[in-house]
Homo-oligomer: A and B are copies of this chain.
Amino acid sequence: MNATGKEAGAEFSKRLNTVGFRFTPQRQQVYDVLLQKRDHPTAEEVFFRAKKHMPDISHATVYNCLDALVECGLVRQVQLDRGAARFCPNMREHGHFYCDACGRVYDVNLPEKPRPEISLPKGFKAQRYEIAIHGICPECANKKRFNASTL
């Protein structure tokens, strides 16, 4: 039911400590929110969900927690359009599909075979990749077809 039993909690705490962060209930709560519904919520959305279990949590704290989780490698931040950043606890290598019609975000698997190494000019040190695919999701594609046929 809940992804953070005592064992997982200790693991989580250790992970924070290794990067110099403290364990706090707020950080745990924010991480739980991300694990419980993996729909790439914005910071605002995380705030509302966390508030249900922890009514006094503040906006600023949610941003702080999200940044901490990103920094210690438990969460990815995804920036897909001019709007708010989104957050994703899936640390496996994967890309994101962004529906330009409805704004929903889907995880997409990348080819298992490692993609041809992108050769960076001398001196550039890559730390991580983000692959975003923009397009139309099945649901919106259907809606569109329907609308077009009834005009």
Contact = CB atoms under 8 A, between A and B. Distances in A.
Nearest to A100: B127
Interface in A92-131: 95, 97, 100, 106, 108-111, 113, 115-131
Q: How large is the interface on A (under 10, 10 to 19, 20 to 34, 35 or more residues)?
A: 35 or more
Given A79-B79, A82-B85, A126 B116 contact: no
How many identical chains are in the complex? 2
A49 interface: no
Given A79-B80, A115-B116, A137 B110 contact: no
Contacts of A97: 120, 124, 126
A130 B134 contact: yes
A66 to B, nearest CB: 11
Contacts of A82: 77, 79, 85
B134 A122 contact: no
Contact of A133 (B108, B129, B134): B129
The 3 closest A-B pairs by CB, nearest first: A123-B138, A111-B116, A126-B135
